[in-house]
Amino acid sequence: MPEETAAAETVDQQDDPTAEVETTDSEPTLSVEDLIAERDKWKSLSRENEKGRKANADKARKYDELLAQKERDEQTWQERAEKAEAALAANTKQRERDNLAKKIVEGTDVPADLLVGDTEEEMRAHLDRLQSFRGPKQTVPPAAPASVVANADAAPANKVQQLTQADLKNMSPAQIRDADAKGQLDELKGIRK
């Protein structure tokens, strides 16, 4: 019968919620305040974790933006470098072409910038066409000897010597009329011959 009594006591304890439950030493008993404090602690930790997650998300977004900007900048610099290299190559090619053109026209009276073509053969052919179009080279007549050339300050031999205002002051009216008839007053009157 002792077994029935122990079983009855166990059933009675299960039906009575206010009855004390035997606890083992491994399970500590917590009060309601302890549970509320524990809940608040976990809420606080959860909120801090959420803030950290948001901060990390912002940092990750900024990092991604910086990486994208870096890629755009690298692409821009690459394009600029390619353009600069192309411009340098074109400039070098033009300089080489100009030097070749100067070498080809050396000894001729054809300007180097009139030559067309990129190769020496093309430029020489164009030079030949230009020279044949112009005809034979015209020679400049030799300069006249110094004995033939008149003095630039002296009046030409066939030109009438002109009188000045000072000359007229010392002349009589009859002399002035004679000088006018000879054409010696033409420059004073504004007549050019």
pLDDT digits (tens, 9 = 90+) for 133-180: 877 666 666 666 655 555 555 555 557 888 888 888 899 999 999 999
Q: Is the pLDDT of residue 23 over 90?
A: no
Place 26 in a pLDDT band, splitting at 50, 70 and 90: low
- Higher-confidence residue of 114 and 76: namely 76
35-77 pLDDT per residue, tens: 999 999 999 999 999 999 999 999 999 999 999 999 999 999 9
Measured in whole angstroms, the distance separating CA 64 from the mean position of its chain's CA atoms is 30
The whole-number pLDDT of residue 39 equals: 93
- Cα dihedral 69, 74, 78, 81, rounded to 10, equals 100
Q: Under 8 Å CB-to-CB from 118, ≥6 apart: which residues? A: 97
4-17 pLDDT per residue, tens: 555 545 555 555 55
The whole-number pLDDT of residue 65 equals: 95
Give the span between the Cα atoms of 112 and 105, in whole angstroms. Answer: 6
Give the amino acid at 73.
D
**Three-state DSSP class for residue 23:** coil
